[in-house]
Amino acid sequence: MASIIESGWRYLITNFSDFQLACLGSFFLHESVFFLSGLPFIYLERAGWLSKYKIQLVVIVIATLFTHTDQDHTATDLMVASYTKNNSPEAQEKCITQLLLYHFGVNLPVMIFSYPVFKYMGMQSSLPLPSWKVVLSQIIFYFILEDFVFYWGHRVLHTKWLYKHVHSVHHEYATPFGLTSEYAHPAEILFLGFATIVGPAITGPHLMTLWLWMVVRVLETVEAHCGYHFPWSLSNFIPLYGGADFHDYHHRLLYTKSGNYSSTFVYMDWIFGTDKGYRKLKALKSAGDEDDKKQT
């Protein structure tokens, strides 16, 4: 397997320059993984398949006030958006159109202009490829750093002014689907995108490691926004992994203090108590399920 990967990599570095691979190659990889993983959820939703796993199945998801009494919410603080308005075919097509504009107008230029920084920090694409131990340790470091930076950046975006003028764009979809993971104001793309690239920018990894990190990160954020909680979802098996159920709650409450600000792993919300409403709601649901079992 290792020899096959090395042969494929040798072909790439022989036929393309570092700049082409790091910029255009990264962009092509991102677009391929993002749309190939996100588009199926639109198809699932329109076809009505696997609807029993849809987190927000009803037209309106009610977030009751008593789940947030410790955050001093008032009735006017909770703004509820309808499923029909947010996930209509027209809204989904709007999302895709805007994403293409953002990706070509923001993401691609960022990749091009950040290339000298990555090269200066030591990024390379030559053989030999890094060992799996090096790759794994760097990916773990990126997750830890990204979770920390993203959490605080996300909380800042939920302050009143930034939420109204910037972050509310991302929250147009109260019932998210996979592709909404990158639907955001251009300023937010740059602001929170920093959390994803700061780790690689610091360590100057091999390009293969950077690509692997990009793929894992894209798949994670698409899954977190997919709107489905399956029996095989990673959050059922990996401790502290947020996943769709955790992040879907964040989208249901269109409010500046909705909580659940974490990116991949949820320990930051647990440490700072910003997941209290979510945990209380889960406890109530669990108690209701127990009552239903007793009655049957």
Beta carbons within 10 angstroms of residue 82's beta carbon: 14
- C-alpha distances (whole Å) from 11 to each of 19, 35, 122, 207, 208 are 15, 25, 22, 14, 14
Q: How high is the pLDDT of residue 254?
A: 64
95: helix, coil or strand?
Answer: helix
List the structure tokens of 162: 């930034």
Domain segments of the chain: what residues?
2-295
Q: How high is the pLDDT of residue 209?
A: 98
Q: Please name the residue that has the structure tokens 């909770």.
A: 78
What is the percentage of the chain residues whose pLDDT exceeds 70? Answer: 86
* More confident of the two residues 169 and 84: 169
Phi first, then psi: give them for residue 167, nearest 5 degrees.
-75, -20
- C-alpha distances (whole Å) from 126 to each of 100, 215, 270 are 31, 20, 41
Decide: 197 and 26 in contact? Cβ < 8 Å.
no
Overall pTM surpassing 0.85 (yes/no): yes
CA nearest neighbour of 277 among 243, 241, 253, 242: 253
Answer whether residue 43 shows pLDDT above 60: yes
Stretch 116-131: mean pLDDT? 95
pLDDT band at 3 (very low <50, low <70, confident <90, very high): confident
Give the separation between CA 176 and CA 234, rounded to whole angstroms: 18
Stretch 183-206: mean pLDDT? 96
pLDDT band at 264 (very low <50, low <70, confident <90, very high): very high
Decide: 46 and 90 in contact? Cβ < 8 Å.
no
Burial of 103 (0-12, 13-18, 19+ CB in 10 A): middle
Rounded to the nearest 10°, the torsion over CA 275, 283, 170, 237 is 90
Stretch 68-95: mean pLDDT? 57
